[in-house]
């Protein structure tokens, strides 16, 4: 079920990117047609600004993913594996043609297709414990490396913009980022609340049926501050224009 939610988010983001790309292409064509008599300045300085903004956008997005993965993995140590990961039901390893049934004695033993057999909250389940460690390591690696690259490119932009600011590019960067992180926040806030309430107050009888709220809560924790940040930056640009 958790995968379904993430699939919906990916679909929505892909749709938004497609619409933004299409709208940007149409705008560029219209702009070029209307200004065909004017020279379009795409010098080294402009191209460098475009490069820095694109890389800043990409590195921040990847850092966001890494942070979500890290928080989700860390939460599994604090609040338990079912909080962050979906557990699998063991299958029956048949011996002497007797099928294993949970909570009964038989010649068959439970086994796992993936991961290892363990007992959580009194139930035998299958889970790959390396997911937690991989989540911490991969999440931290992505977050730290991408934030370093993001910082380098943003600092470079700050130095360049002291001499020359390409306002339309800055506005486009802030506005697109605002759209992306606002959509992520709008999706993750209600879903994380729904999953969290269900996890705390309406746990299913069997632990394997729990819908893990960890990743959605982590997404909300990461996306909301970014949403607010880009909203403030966009409003500041609007105020400067009005002045």
pLDDT in tens, 3-57: 555 666 666 667 776 776 777 677 667 666 666 665 555 677 888 888 999 999 9
| Tokens encoding 159 | 């130095």
* Residue 122 covered by a domain: yes
| 73 Cβ neighbours under 8 A, 6+ residues apart | 84, 131, 132, 133, 134, 135, 136, 139
| Tokens encoding 108 | 């068959």
Decide: 203 and 83 in contact? Cβ < 8 Å. Answer: no
* Residue 170 covered by a domain: yes
- Per residue in 65-115, pLDDT (tens digit) is 999 999 999 999 999 889 999 888 887 554 444 444 555 555 556 677 777
- The three-state secondary structure class of 211 is coil
* Residue 25 covered by a domain: no
Domain count within the chain: 1
Residue 94: what pLDDT?
46
* Residue 34 covered by a domain: no
pLDDT at 234 over 50: yes
Owning domain of residue 90: 44-242
- Per residue in 109-161, pLDDT (tens digit) is 667 777 788 887 778 888 888 889 999 999 999 999 999 999 999 999 988 88
* Residue 107 covered by a domain: yes
* DSSP H/E element including 124: strand 123-127
């Amino acid at each position: 079920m958790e995968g379904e939610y993430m699939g919906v988010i990916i679909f929505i983001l892909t749709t938004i990117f497609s619409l933004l790309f299409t709208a940007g292409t149409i705008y560029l064509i219209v702009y070029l047609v209307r200004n065909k008599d004017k020279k379009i300045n795409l010098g080294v300085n402009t191209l460098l600004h475009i490069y820095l903004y694109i890389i800043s956008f990409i590195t921040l997005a990847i850092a966001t993913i890494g942070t979500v993965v890290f928080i989700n993995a860390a939460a599994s140590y604090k609040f338990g594996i079912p909080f962050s990961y979906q557990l699998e039901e063991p299958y029956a390893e048949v011996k002497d043609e007797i099928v294993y049934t949970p909570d009964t004695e038989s010649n068959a033993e439970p086994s796992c297709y993936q991961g290892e057999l363990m007992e959580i909250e009194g139930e035998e389940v299958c889970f790959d414990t390396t997911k937690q460690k991989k989540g911490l390591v991969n999440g931290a690696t992505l977050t730290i490396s991408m934030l370093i690259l993001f910082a380098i490119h943003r600092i470079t932009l700050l130095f360049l913009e002291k001499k020359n600011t390409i306002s339309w590019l800055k506005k486009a960067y802030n506005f697109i980022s605002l759209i992306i992180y606002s959509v992520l926040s709008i999706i993750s806030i209600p879903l994380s609340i729904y999953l969290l309430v269900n996890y705390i107050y309406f746990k299913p009888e069997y632990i394997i049926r729990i819908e893990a709220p960890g990743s959605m809560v982590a997404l909300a924790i990461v996306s909301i501050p970014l949403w607010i940040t880009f909203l403030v930056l966009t409003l500041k640009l609007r105020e400067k224009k009005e002045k």
